Amino acid sequence: MKNLAILASGSGSNAEVIIRYFRNHETIRIVLVISNKVEAGVLEKAKRLGIPSMVIPKKCWQEETDILKTFKNQQIDGIILAGFLLQVPPFLIERYSKRIINIHPALLPKFGGKGMYGKQVHQAVKLAGESNTGITIHEVNEVYDDGEIIFQASCSILPTDDVETIALKVQELEHIHYPKVIEGHFKTI
Ligand code: GRF
């Protein structure tokens, strides 16, 4: 069994589909949800779905010994970022080399980097007049949205699509693909 933790800062729609997908899974178990925000919707979802959760506020993420101890105590084998807005500390990246993955709501390397999250991404895509967009699932390294790409999927943008429509199309792709890509990735390591 591989134990995975989900890190999320927001509403947690991806966290929810991932948790549901891995219920009663043969080799992967979602054991913990961690948020940096007390008010994050993902905490309510974790509770409703029966998954333990904890809040680690921003200032505590630099406490190497405490953070590593927490992950060790919970026997975490891998980390799934699902809308986690803090930078993952280097010591965690080192400890979980190739075992931290993130989803970005655009086709990297375009429209990535610091500050590129949520609506900003779709706004930038629309402003650039792109005819398609999509999702990128990648390994996490020390630079925002820069780790090795594991998977991409795209969808077309119609001239009539506004930012909300684009966001919905991208979210649909995320929910379809993220659980399966996690499954494939953690099978191989
Ligand atoms: C998703 O769009 C994901 O690509 C990005 O953060 C968002 C999280 O959304 N990294 P949700 O909280 O899972 O709905």
Rg (CA), the chain: 16
Give the list of residues 6+ apart from residue 127 with CB closer than 8 angstroms, or none: none
Q: Which residues of the chain have pLDDT under 50?
A: none
Tell me the β-bridge partners of 156: 132
* Cβ atoms of residues 99 and 150 within 8 Å: no
What pLDDT score was predicted for residue 188?
79
Q: How far apart are CA 74 and CA 68, in angstroms?
A: 10
CA angle 48, 177, 33 (to 5 degrees): 30
The protein residue with its alpha carbon nearest to ligand 1, atom 6, reads: 83
Distance 14 CA to ligand 1 centre (A): 6
What pLDDT score was predicted for residue 167?
98
What pLDDT score was predicted for residue 135?
98
Tokens of 108: 């990297």
pTM above 0.95, yes or no: yes
User: Which residues belong to the active site?
Assistant: 104
Q: How far apart are CA 128 and CA 159, in angstroms?
A: 12
Ligand 1 in reach of 10 Cβ (< 6 A): yes
| pLDDT tens digits, 91-110 | 999 999 999 999 999 999 99
| pLDDT tens digits, 14-30 | 999 999 999 999 999 99
